[in-house]
């Protein structure tokens, strides 16, 4: 069987109920590393990016950049160099884009640098339709001609892109990143209104500025980019992953024991920390970049709404739902960013949770315990919720389809084993995923 087929059959088997003790280190942010890597298409010079996590999504982005003509070398530890050599292909093929929607991030840089790009339409995915219309509308406003043919976005700007005043109807993270990258090499000034504020957008702006881009306003809803003729090489280290950190905080609160979280980016998690406080979970700083999680004996219910940064991230919704199952009253979580992002609810209910869905709100009633069962990892973040649930549940939990987990959580089983979790991988022969 080829490696990819085996990956689809991999399951994680967790023996729950262990007290965990030790250090969990937060890796570099996947959602920052991906746009940072795509930005290396904008220069002919070498860019070194450090603190890149070892993940399937990162592999997909490396393969994509490689296909286009970027030579990637491992320097040491988490550092890689990226150098655009001879352009080999102006096409981001379906085989790669279908594995990871964030592949759309190559569209802006390719169009700006080469004047042409073909990117497979990302299509639907497990958490809703997730269109890319806002990316395309903005690029058209910058002078690109775009058609959709045979499932591919074909975009051309033979005379180069032109600065434009972009109003995003909806806040979009990768949309803001795509347009920011495209605008660095466009002629004249681009203004992005209603831009995303996420720390990963800011990290990209910081890296682009080091490459010679003229950007201001990142971290606000209005970003201004004055196009330049060319960009140069640089060194950049990716920011820590706030979603992995938040996942570790929940895991730590529910599994008791004594876990130190290293590289916990409190400054990106201010709202999340406040929600944790309201539940009765306290993030206590013990050194410059380490925290421990203390909890009250009784956890309080809360109502959460997912919103764009700096409010509650949709990417922590499933993990907090698991947590709130153990509060002493009824909680509600409303998902405002994505439709159909409650696929973990039936899976949590299989473990003993009592959650109902009413429209875009999940109503979480308290339960005393979870008991191990077979469950499915339905998307990337939902799979992290399953891992937390499995660690809390009595007995054995088998999580199927864990390739989702490997897309976004670096060496999760190794990290958890190092703090005493009983967790192993198995290839399940009868899996038909
Ligand atoms: C990014 C993150 C993802 C996170 C999400 C929301 C990366 C690689 N991924 O995804 O982990 O869950 O932000 O914080 O950074 N939309 C449109 N048209 C568009 C673009 C978006 O309607 O052209 C809608 C989406 O369907 C969604 C909302 O806008 O309802 C926000 O999506 P967006 O911020 O674009 O998410 P991503 O950038 O794909």
Digit-coded pLDDT (tens) for 243-261? 999 999 999 999 987 899 9
Residue 34 Cα to ligand 1 midpoint, Å, equals 14
Nearest atom within ligand 1 for CA of residue 34:
8
Q: Which atom of ligand 1 is nearest to the CA of 137?
A: 23
How remote is the CA of residue 130 from the centroid of ligand 1, in Å? 7
Ligand 1 near 130 CB (within 6 A): yes
Distance 75 CA to ligand 1 centre (A): 32
Using DSSP, state whether 149 is helix, strand or coil: strand
Distance from C-alpha of 408 to C-alpha of 338, rounded to nearest angstrom:
18
Pocket probe mutation, ligand 1, options 170, 198, 242, 319, max atoms within 8 Å of Cβ: 170
Integer CA distances (angstroms), 94 to 109, 150, 428, in order: 18, 11, 28
Q: What share of the chain is helix, strand, coil (3-state, %, to 5)?
A: 35, 30, 35
Q: Which of 64, 130, 311 to mutate to test ligand 1, by most ligand atoms within 8 A of the CB atom?
A: 130
Contact (CB, 8 A) for 362 and 344:
no
Ligand 1 centroid from CA 173, angstroms: 6
CB of 133 within 6 A of ligand 1: the answer is yes
338 lines ligand 1 (CB under 6 A): yes
| Cα of 175 vs its chain's centroid, Å | 14
Rounded CA gap, 216 and 224, in Å? 5
Q: State how far the Cα of 75 lies from the Cα of 288, in Å rounded to an integer.
A: 28
Q: Is this model's pTM higher than 0.85 or not?
A: yes
Asked if 145 and 157 touch (Cβ cutoff 8 Å), the reply is yes
Measured CA to CA, the distance from residue 234 to residue 227 in angstroms comes to: 18
CB 369 within 8 Å of CB 400:
no
Q: 41: how many CB neighbours lie within 10 A of its CB?
A: 27
Closest atom of ligand 1 relative to the 104 alpha carbon? 39
Going by C-alpha positions, the residue among 402, 409, 316, 431 that lies closest to residue 14 is: 402
Residue closest via CA to ligand 1's atom 33 equals: 172
Q: Residue 339: CB within 6 Å of ligand 1?
A: no
Kind and range of the H or E run holding 284: strand 281-287
pLDDT digits (tens, 9 = 90+) for 205-239: 999 999 999 999 999 999 999 999 999 999 999 99
Identify the active-site residue in 79, 125, 146, 428: 125
User: Is the C-beta atom of 35 inside 6 A of ligand 1?
Assistant: no
* Residue 384: both structure tokens together: 């992290």
- For 174-184, give one letter per residue: b (16+ CB within 10 A) or e: bbbbbbbbbbb
Residue 301 DSSP code: P
The β-bridge partners of 120 are 152
Nearest CA to ligand 1 atom 3: 315
Task: Answer yes or no: is the C-beta of 166 below 6 A from any ligand 1 atom.
Answer: no
173, 179, 221, 360: which to mutate for ligand 1, most atoms within 8 A of CB? 173
CA angle 121, 124, 126 (to 5 degrees): 140
Q: What distance in angstroms lies between residue 54's CA and the mean position of ligand 1's atoms? A: 23
Specify the residue with its C-alpha closest to ligand 1, atom 11: 315
State the sign of the Cα–Cα–Cα–Cα dihedral 349, 352, 358, 359.
negative
**From CA 154, how far away is CA 233, in angstroms rounded?**
28
Place of tokens 């764009």: 308
d(CA 373, CA 176): 41
Query: Which pairs from 290-297 meet CB under 8 Å and 24+ separation?
Result: 290/23, 290/260, 290/261, 290/262, 290/264, 291/260, 291/261, 291/264, 291/266, 292/252, 292/258, 292/259, 292/260, 292/261, 293/249, 293/252, 293/253, 293/259, 293/261, 295/253
DSSP state of 77: T
Q: Provide the β-strand partners of residue 11.
A: 426
Tens digit of pLDDT per residue, the chain (433 long)?
Answer: 566 666 678 899 999 998 899 999 999 999 999 999 999 999 999 999 999 999 999 999 999 999 999 999 999 999 999 999 989 999 999 999 998 999 999 999 999 999 999 999 886 456 566 789 999 999 999 999 999 999 999 999 989 999 999 999 999 999 999 999 999 999 999 999 999 999 999 999 999 999 999 999 999 999 999 999 999 999 999 999 999 999 999 999 999 878 999 999 999 999 999 999 999 999 999 999 999 999 999 999 999 999 999 999 999 999 999 999 999 999 999 999 998 899 999 999 999 999 999 999 999 999 999 999 999 988 888 999 999 999 999 999 999 988 889 899 999 999 999 999 999 999 887 665 4
DSSP state for residue 379 in the 8-state scheme: S
Instruction: Report CA(172)–ligand 1 centroid distance (Å).
Output: 5
Cβ–Cβ < 8 Å for 186, 160: yes
Cα 25 from Cα 29, distance rounded (Å): 12
* Residue 98 CA, distance from chain mean position: 16
125 given a catalytic annotation: yes
Reference 327, options 279, 373, 386, 293; nearest CA is: 279
């Amino acid at each position: 069987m080829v490696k990819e087929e085996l990956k689809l059959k991999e399951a994680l088997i967790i023996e729950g109920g262990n007290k965990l003790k030790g250090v969990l280190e937060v890796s570099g942010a996947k959602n920052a590393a991906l746009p940072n890597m795509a930005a290396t298409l904008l220069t002919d010079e070498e860019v070194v990016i450090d603190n890149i996590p070892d993940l399937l999504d990162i592999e997909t982005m490396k393969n994509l950049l490689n296909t286009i003509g970027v030579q990637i070398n491992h320097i040491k530890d988490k550092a890689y160099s990226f150098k655009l050599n001879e352009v080999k292909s102006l096409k981001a093929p379906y085989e790669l884009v279908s594995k990871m929607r964030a592949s759309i991030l190559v569209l802006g840089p390719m169009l700006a640098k080469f004047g042409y790009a073909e990117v497979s339409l990302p299509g639907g995915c497990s958490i809703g339709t997730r269109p890319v219309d806002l990316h395309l509308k903005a690029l058209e406003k910058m002078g690109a001609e775009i058609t959709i043919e045979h499932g591919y976005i074909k975009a051309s700007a033979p005379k180069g892109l032109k600065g434009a005043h972009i109003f995003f109807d909806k806040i979009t993270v990768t949309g803001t990143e795509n347009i920011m990258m495209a605008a660095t090499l466009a002629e004249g000034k681009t203004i992005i209104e209603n831009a995303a504020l996420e720390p990963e957008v800011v990290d990209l702006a910081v890296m682009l500025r080091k490459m010679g881009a003229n950007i201001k306003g990142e971290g606000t809803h209005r970003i201004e980019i004055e196009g330049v003729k060319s960009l140069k090489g640089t060194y950049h280290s990716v920011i820590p992953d706030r979603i992995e950190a938040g996942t570790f905080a929940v895991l730590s609160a529910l599994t008791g024991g004594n876990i130190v979280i290293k590289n916990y980016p409190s400054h990106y998690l201010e709202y999340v920390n406040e929600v944790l406080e309201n539940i009765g979970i306290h993030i206590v700083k013990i050194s410059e970049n380490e925290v421990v999680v203390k909890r009250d004996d009784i956890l309080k219910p809360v109502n959460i709404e997912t919103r764009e940064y700096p409010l509650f991230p949709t990417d922590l919704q499933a993990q907090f739902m698991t947590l709130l199952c153990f509060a002493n009253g009824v909680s509600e979580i409303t998902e405002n960013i994505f439709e159909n992002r409650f696929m973990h609810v039936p899976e949590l209910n299989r473990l003993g949770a009592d959650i109902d869905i009413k429209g875009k709100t999940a109503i979480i009633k308290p339960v005393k315990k979870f008991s191990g069962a077979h469950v499915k990892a339905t998307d990337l973040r939902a799979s992290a919720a399953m891992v937390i649930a499995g660690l809390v549940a009595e007995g054995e939990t088998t999580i199927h389809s864990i390739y989702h987990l490997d897309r976004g959580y670096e060496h999760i089983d190794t990290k958890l084993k190092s703090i005493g979790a009983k967790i192993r991988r198995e290839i399940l022969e009868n899996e038909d995923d």
